[in-house]
Amino acid sequence: MGLSEFDLITRFFNHQRVRHSGVELGIGDDAAVVSVPSGQSLVMSMDTLVAGVHFPVDTPAEDIAYKALAVNLSDMAAMGAEPNWLLLALTFPEVDEAWLTAFSRRLSQLADEYNLTLIGGDTTRGPLTISVQINGLVPQGQALTRSGAQAGDLIYVTGQLGDAGLGLKLVLDELKVEWPSARRDYFIQRLQRPLPRVNVGLLLRGLATAAIDISDGLLADLRHILETSKVAASINIENIPVADEVRALTGEWWQLPLTAGDDYELCFTVPEEKIALLEQQLNSVNVPCHCIGRIEPGAGMKVLHNGMNVDTNNMKGFLHFD
């Protein structure tokens, strides 16, 4: 006789210790119960990853677990929230104990790194799909949003853009290049195991006027800030941080960092008078950030390369239903 749903939960997902006193009732009941401390707001987000859409079907279980949680942690970072609890809905075609062992072990390890507690979820049979709901806390009134950017603010991004897009091309064997294995592995890891910038999101409270994580490409995600904040922007392609291998691509290399997505870096806006404090704060977490442009009055986005306008009308980020 195979493992039942409750056996699966007990064996693979019910061994994690509770890290937060706010958990009144965790795994094992019809629903979890948590308490929110006075003066805090509850921040909630959920992402779904589907095999063949968000990751190749032969992706190792460890990488699937990591990314499923990391993309949700990135949402917490974009909101300036401290992650606390998560719920997991796992759909898989058949019980593969080796796969489940690897998946649950890596999920638990990453949860440990960010002091997260798994408090519930669901398992069912079907095409491989992973949904994670993450919950975090932020002091009331301090959550970062997309709607606060103002004319004169500077636009920043963390890390490097285009790495994950290049990693996907390597996984799909779309690039015929002879690179050292260490560099190939780096870009594939950037695709499969993005680094959530939770520490940056926390220090941006009170500094950033708007923020978003870059999941669908810089152009698409920055446009969300502009449309919600009702402002315009001008960005300079030469200031976008990219790897040498991205810059060496034939054709218009900047299409990758502008549209590829999956980098899960942060894009945020900061008033000019707070830049010195921002740089001081960033030094404490050792995360590279680059100013790529400025918020302007009006609507739309101007993209410049060495002072010349670049036509981005046909450049789109990732769209599920396009």
Question: The whole model's pTM is what?
Answer: 0.90
Q: Which range is least confidently modeled, 15-19, 91-95, 311-315?
A: 15-19
* pLDDT over 60 at 307, yes or no: yes
* pLDDT over 80 at 321, yes or no: no
Count CB-CB contacts under 10 A for residue 275: 14
User: What pLDDT does 30 receive?
Assistant: 78
Write the Ramachandran bin of 152: left for phi over 0, alpha for psi from -120 to 50, otherwise beta: left
Residue 299: its H or E element: none
% residues pLDDT > 70 (the chain): 91
User: What pLDDT does 13 receive?
Assistant: 59
Domain 154-309 has CATH 3.90.650.10: yes
Give the mean pLDDT of 99-117. 92
Query: How many CA atoms, within 13 angstroms, populate the side-chain half-sphere of residue 175?
Result: 18
* Sequence spans of domains, the chain: 5-139, 154-309
Look up residue 296 and give its two tokens. Answer: 């302007």
* pLDDT over 80 at 75, yes or no: yes
* pLDDT over 80 at 3, yes or no: no
Give the mean pLDDT of 140-153. 97
User: What pLDDT does 53 receive?
Assistant: 85
Residue with tokens 């695709």: 191
User: What pLDDT does 178 receive?
Assistant: 82
Tell me the CATH number for domain 5-139: 3.30.1330.10
Give the mean pLDDT of 228-238. 97
Look up residue 10 and give its two tokens. Answer: 């007990």
Q: How confident is the model at residue 87 (pLDDT cuts 50, 70, 90)?
A: very high
CA distance 199 to 319: 28
